[in-house]
Amino acid sequence: MHISEPLLVCDLPEAVDNPDEIETLQRHLQVRGYPQATIEHTLPRRYHVQYGHRDQPLVSIIVPTKDQLPFLQRCVETLLHTTRYLNYELLIVDNNSETAEALEWLARIDALGSAQVRVLRYPHPFNYSRINNVAAAQAKGEYLVLLNNDTAIVHSRWLDELLNHALRPEVGVVGAKLLFPNGRMQHAGVRLGMDGPAGHQHIGEPAHIQGYMQRVQVDQDLSAVTAACLMVRRSIYEEVGGLDEEAFVVSYNDVDLCMKVGARGYLNVWTPHSVLIHEGSVSQTHVDTATQQAKRKRFVGEQLAMYRKWLPTLANDPAFNTNLSFDLQSVELELNMPLVWRPMAWRRDPVVLAYPEGLWASPHERVIAPFETLHATGWVDGMLSSQPLSIPQEGRLKPNVVVFQARLDADHLQTIARAQLLPDAFVVLDINDLQLGSRTPGEDPFAFDAECVDLLQKSLHQAHRVIASTQVLADIAGEFHADVRLLPSRLSPQIWGNLVSRRGVGGKPRVGLVSDRWQPQDLHMILAVVEALAEEVEWIVLGDDQGVLRGHAHESHDRPPAEHYATAVAGLNLDLALLPAVDNLFGACKNNITLLQLGACGVPVICSDVRAYAGDLSVTRVPNTLEAWVNLIRAHTMDLASAALLGDDLRKQVLRDWMFDEEAVQAWREAWLP
């Protein structure tokens, strides 16, 4: 058990021999009832306790196999020739071997009629848990060893070292140190929450490493070890129901077993003094695509089963300090501090985990700014994350509320669905600027794309509440969800409230086409207008990622980083801005955030007469015809003083009615919280 907070900060103790420590350990072992115990001292301050047990119980070693005769032969032959402890039986469990050499070899072993080496048959589809449970039922030993067929015994005392701990009454499971054939680390114990539900720490590192606080060099209690080589007292194995044959057919059955054993109050121990070679996953190679896909589906299902059953423990492995990261195979401090920083014994509720779709302007106004404001005012705790956290990371944070900004793709749908694994988490889905329209040429511009609507519907069903940025999106969402709130986008006063944009600085009127996310059809629609006025104005373009207007622009600017976006827009020093939008489903659904941003800079705006820009803001709306656009632009540019007044009026409206003020903060708080 690790104490997360430092009780003492000091220099690392020098690793030198300390007779007082050895004497203290020896006295402790005497008190614990181990009068024959000895302490081997091969490295300074790293002690190897031999408990001096006199019992030599029968051990049943279970080796499942199918074909792969070279691996099986090596496993069996090294076990028989190397193992010092002799009171064992070896149960080889054949699971439908097919190769002639494997069948012949198993038949010869069977024909020997040995009481120590037996061949059992499991003529059913592969189920690792079931195979071991069937063999355990036929085993005669007081202790069981689950051993993979792709292991090799290289240490004569491997079984003695496992029994050294397994014979302690408080111990349930004991695991070994496993090396790859190249001598690098394959298993130094299992760490919960790493690489999914659980992973092997230090995998691939040199075998002789000390590890975090020299732990790789000493016996230690862990939450789990791998069943590639695992010893368990048979009575405890039966007490917890063995391996789970239903939920964990192939993966994580060993971790689940250890956690069941630990939940009964027994210890799971890993020892570096029992050393074996382990190839690892040899049965997973050379399979066809369909088989690989089926294995992947099964593996994901078993991961989810682990999360449903054990997530609180997976997220907080009691064998490791909670300030350590899940992300690395080696042991490193967690750098994402909101995940682990708990300065008080209590925490401020509610804890919100907010996922913006990206770090550009609209996600900022929809998710980032609301969270930062609510966090700064003390109404919520938690964090923003631009990338999905792992499920154990989410479990470590323990959010009361998870906010997603909707994106219509299968991966994002899975990310939202994962939130259902978090105990009692309230899931909020923010929908904004979604492309729901059909992409089929010539089809009705207001026709829905069936696939997009299906993804939206499935996403909505994963949420407890939906927040829409526009009335049209709210109406669409309301067809599939009972709790939909309308919250139009607003601007952060800290970012947009005090911008300065100059006018009349160009040789000709500076007319801007500015957006953080242009739709290509909108730019193609306005191209003829740009060409028609090429000699009359300076075209200033920002965010034209596809270069539709680049050849006609006096200035063309790439989209700046989100933190510089507001100052970049103001710094364009526009006399007029255009917001063209094709009259289609997307144009009806999208919000007016770009209009608000230009208004905050005091720039007069001419926009398409579409649903997105409807309302009482002081802008000039125009039908989407070449003549109408050209005439209105000329009217503005020929009277820049009047146009400036329109920009001033628009700025006053935006700063008065469309900022993220106290009333808006309260509305967002009520929408995010249950």
pLDDT tens per residue, range 40-58: 987 888 899 999 999 999 9
Handedness of CA 623, 625, 627, 633 (dihedral sign): positive
Describe the crossing of helices 471-478 and 450-461 by its angle, rounded to 10 degrees.
80
- Asked if 45 and 16 count as a contact pair (C-beta separation under 8 A), the reply is yes
Q: What is the pLDDT of residue 7?
A: 65
Which one has a higher pLDDT value, 212 or 19? 19
Burial class (CB in 10 A: 0-12, 13-18, 19+), 43: middle
Residue 328 has pLDDT above 90, yes or no: no
Task: Say what the pLDDT of residue 191 is.
Answer: 93
Q: Do residues 422 and 469 touch, judged by C-beta distance below 8 A? A: no
pLDDT at residue 412 tops 50: yes
Does residue 493 have a cis bond before it (omega within 30 degrees)? no
Q: What is the mean pLDDT of residues 112-122?
A: 95
Distance CA 241, CA 89 (A): 22
With 50 as the cut, is the pLDDT of residue 91 above it?
yes
pLDDT tens-place string over residues 509-539? 999 999 887 888 899 999 999 999 999 999 9
Q: Hey, CA dihedral for 458, 459, 463, 468, is it positive or negative?
A: negative
In the chain, the percentage of residues whose pLDDT exceeds 70 is 97
> Structural domains in the chain?
1-52 (no CATH), 53-314 (3.90.550.10), 347-486 (3.40.50.2300), 500-657 (3.40.50.2000)
* Mean pLDDT, residues 538-543 taken together: 96
Average pLDDT, the chain: 92
- Scan for tokens 């270069």, then name that residue: 547
User: Residue 229: what pLDDT?
Assistant: 98
Q: pLDDT for 458-489, tens place per residue?
A: 999 999 999 999 999 999 999 999 999 999 99
Does residue 669 surpass a pLDDT of 70?
yes
pLDDT bracket for residue 433 (50, 70, 90): confident
Question: Does pLDDT of 197 surpass 60?
Answer: yes
**2: confidence class by pLDDT, cuts 50, 70, 90:** low
pLDDT band at 361 (very low <50, low <70, confident <90, very high): very low
Count CA within 13 A, CB hemisphere, residue 629. Answer: 21
Statement: residue 15 has pLDDT above 80: no
SS3 222: strand
Question: What mean pLDDT comes out for the span 172-191?
Answer: 96
230, 137 contact by CB (below 8 A): no
For residues 341 and 288, is the Cβ–Cβ distance under 8 A? no
282: confidence class by pLDDT, cuts 50, 70, 90: low
Residues in the chain, total: 674
Q: Is the pLDDT of residue 32 over 80?
A: yes
